[in-house]
Amino acid sequence: MSNIQAFSGTIERRAFVKELIGLCPEALVVGGLGSSTYDMFAAGDRDQNFYLWGAMGGAAAIGLGLALAQPNKSVLVITGDGEQLMGMGALATINAQQPKNLTIVVLDNGHFGETGMQHSHSSLGTDLTAVAQACGISTAYKIKDTSDIKKIQQNVLARAGVTFAQVYVKADDLPRALPSRDGVYIKNRFRQTLGLAPF
């Protein structure tokens, strides 16, 4: 008997990411491994974008460190369900640290997009919003309609606590839009936008 749940994501993820970044132009944005990074780059490369290459499961944790180091800036993590499933422990640590300026957006298509579109745990019964809430993140909600994007924008700009948004996107296999894979370049560019010296 299959455990696969009915999954009905209808949001066009690339358009959603472009609109969200446009609504939060000053935010520091961390992209999870794979599709979310491609979506960020397709929306327009920015010095404030920090792309992860080969760091699956690390997006939320990196976002936490950045939020703590830059408390006067809004930090937005954009990642996928597979990447967040691999780093679920970070949600408990995020709640324990309680940064005021961290928003985590999970683009959930119910699949592992980078390894062949196998069903991910979110289409096999795992409720990521409930997991975030169980970790103590009270501002955690599902987005099933693009019109609710302003809710995320308000949380990003308010810097009033941790936010977790699970966005139900279509399980599309879109063309890859690849940013630089030069980790040193990405790191130094990001540091410079924060007024820090490269190293």
Q: What is the CATH number of domain 13-192?
A: 3.40.50.970
- Summarised one tens digit per residue, pLDDT across range 12-41 is 999 999 999 999 999 999 999 888 999 999
Q: Which two tokens stand for residue 30?
A: 């961390």
Question: Are the CB atoms for 72 and 24 separated by under 8 Å?
Answer: no
Rounded distance between C-alpha atoms, residue 37 and residue 35, angstroms: 5
Each domain of the chain, given as residue ranges in start order, spans 13-192
Q: Which residues contact 30 (CB under 8 A, 6 or more apart)?
A: 50, 52, 59, 62, 63, 66, 75, 76, 77, 78, 79
Q: What is the DSSP code (8-state) at residue 161?
A: S
Sort strands 118-119 and 111-112 into parallel, antiparallel or unpaired: antiparallel
pTM score, whole prediction:
0.92
Q: What is the mean pLDDT of residues 36-59?
A: 92
CA nearest 171: which of 13, 4, 17?
13
- Summarised one tens digit per residue, pLDDT across range 145-192 is 999 999 999 999 999 999 999 999 988 888 889 999 999 999 999 999
Find tokens 């961390």 and name the residue.
30
Torsion on CA atoms 114, 173, 40, 103, rounded to nearest 10: -70
